[in-house]
Structure 1
């Protein structure tokens, strides 16, 4: 009886969350905003969560969203991505420099201007790998609640601000793969393959395993000529609604008092991070033949699933964006424990 009630509660909360995301996306679409279903959904669910609405996505649906995002990114890969890869070492080097600047300067800002302790400041400054960051925080380094709020603010703001920036900034546009929508049978078979590889990646403890596994499978199949065509538009809308719900639901359980306490630091840290990414992207622009917006999304410190979905919605080369976010996760895998160790040594009497 208890389990059936719990299952019913989970189902109701999930449906409400998806409906809120869909409603927010619909409003944003009516307003003509770029990436409307993703941005509007994320903002609507975040507001609902902070207002006390019990929003949530169960783990199986979260993982499904990751798989479908990875599938969509692979299907949206541009045909000349392989030719453009010779330019990527320049942007990958820029990514490494950017990571050093973001972690050091954002951590310093949160310490000196907002009075956060070293652990909280530097764990809040890491641009990604949230599960790894929170596992270290849970081991006793920093204030876990402030860290999660600052990190979630970063993810939400990037999801909202990038489409708005697309309306006013010369971010450019990239024509991805063209063609008619994929046939249903092809879409289902590729999705199953993406899910299997994503599961294997997750069991191997690869960061963002479902998204990366699905993306690797879809990109490989696309380059191998195993399928053609675009992801059906309604399918993409459903993916954006789920990812928007996922991003917004990360505010679940955070009270307004906790949010206000960490919000200013989160906004300032995100602003500094965005400024660093923007300067680096402009510096790289003369050396590569691609739109500014594509470079920015590749270097951006947002969540892989969110930035990947934005890349699809804005028409950029998702292979480039995916490669750089994988690079960012790899760099963070080494940087997070190193910085945590240095912080602990500083805190020893």
Structure 2
């Protein structure tokens, strides 16, 4: 149903109607994401993105989500990303972590090569190419696109193309890589949909989560970090998690689903008929670059397996450029080395999310200096 023009006018009544419409829309998309869980990678982001795209292209919805909701989703995502850095997991693989740090940096260079190819052969701008080709942290790349003057639609297209290809191929590759295992019996999920933070004390956990999100966003602006609403909470969350000051603050359950739904919907509503035509032109180069990045990461995994004597299946899952949540779920069902995989994937996510915006800012300043010098 088309949103009536009066809902976009000023006034308390119209704002109230708008809030109700957004609440209904988000609720429907959260349910759609739950239904898509068995079949799709990151369904709580992918399904709202696709539905938002359809609504935007058909003109059913012309407005984007309110700015406070967008900033809140960025801050909560930053808190979630910061909690992936786990000191206990890192300490279990301390003897092998140095080669993996080198590999994450090499992965960043590979992604920069893929970004150069996107710039050279598809004509996208540097910020969009860098965020679109970065391996890991797809939600962060999409969420921070607007703050870094990148095209969020193209970033989402490249990120989800990579995510879909990697997640579709990983189970097949694992069947060839890993030795036969006894089937794992799924444990019942103790945390229901209304368990909103990862911890037993829900009220305290929600309070700490909100405090980290707000203080982190303020810190990000004070330090002039790139994408401050995302990076500030991520740094603060990583600090309190690694130092043991606070635990159990990662969003989960319905709150986590709503967070990813918000990010996906915001990107989907940026599309238009004209932007869809431009994405068709990106597909051949983006597909080739995605396959190249995935193949290079597989080569690095094979090299690491030889150097560290860690099974190739574990190094593959630790270095594959797929979504961290989907990778960890796959690793758990395959009886792989979860401490190794979670620590390396979390380390890479942190590095990519922090270094990619810095690279964009540095290259942007160099280009501006060159233009002034000319």
What is the match of residue 204 of structure 1?
223
SS in 1 for 2:320: helix
Following superposition, the deviation at residue 67 of structure 1 comes to 2.4
- In structure 1, what is the Cα distance between the partners aligned to 2:328 and 2:75? 15
**CA deviations over 1:40-80 (Å, ceiling 9, x no partner):** 33333333333333263222222222222232333344422
| Equivalent runs, 1:105-254 vs 2, <5 Å | 105-111=117-123, 120=124, 122=126, 124-127=128-131, 130-131=145-146, 134=149, 147=151, 149-158=153-162, 160-170=164-174, 181-182=198-199, 183-195=201-213, 196-229=215-248, 231=250, 235-254=252-271
What is the match of residue 94 of structure 1?
106
Contact 2:76 2:233 in 1 (8 A): yes
SS in 2 for 1:60: helix
Contact 1:133 1:336 in 2 (8 A): no
Contact 2:148 2:226 in 1 (8 A): no
Distance 1:167-1:34 versus aligned 2 partners, 3 A rule: farther
Following superposition, the deviation at residue 109 of structure 1 comes to 1.5
- In structure 1, what is the Cα distance between the partners aligned to 2:271 and 2:46? 20
Structure number with larger C-alpha Rg = 2
- In structure 2, what is the Cα distance between the partners aligned to 1:260 and 1:293? 33
What is the match of residue 329 of structure 1?
357
Contact 2:44 2:264 in 1 (8 A): no
What is the match of residue 265 of structure 1?
281
Segment of structure 1 superposing worse, 198-207 or 158-167: 158-167
Following superposition, the deviation at residue 25 of structure 1 comes to 0.4
Following superposition, the deviation at residue 311 of structure 1 comes to 6.5
Segment of structure 1 superposing worse, 154-163 or 101-110: 154-163
**CA deviations over 1:154-202 (Å, ceiling 9, x no partner):** 24434555544444443999xxxxx994121441242133121222203
Q: Structure 1 unaligned runs (5+)?
A: 112-119, 136-146, 174-178, 301-306
- In structure 1, what is the Cα distance between the partners aligned to 2:262 and 2:172? 26
Segment of structure 1 superposing worse, 80-89 or 308-317: 308-317
- In structure 2, what is the Cα distance between the partners aligned to 1:124 and 1:77? 26
Contact 2:45 2:264 in 1 (8 A): no
SS in 2 for 1:2: coil
SS in 1 for 2:268: coil
- In structure 1, what is the Cα distance between the partners aligned to 2:330 and 2:291? 21
2:58 counterpart (51, 62, 65): 51
**Structural RMSD (CA):** 3.7
Say whether residues 1:320 and 2:335 are aligned partners: no
Distance 1:276-1:217 versus aligned 2 partners, 3 A rule: same
Following superposition, the deviation at residue 206 of structure 1 comes to 0.9
Distance 1:291-1:41 versus aligned 2 partners, 3 A rule: farther
- In structure 2, what is the Cα distance between the partners aligned to 1:80 and 1:125? 32
Q: Structure 2 unaligned runs (5+)?
A: 1-8, 132-140, 179-189, 192-197, 332-341
TM-score, normalised via structure 1 length: 0.72
TM-score, normalised via structure 2 length: 0.68
What is the match of residue 280 of structure 1?
296
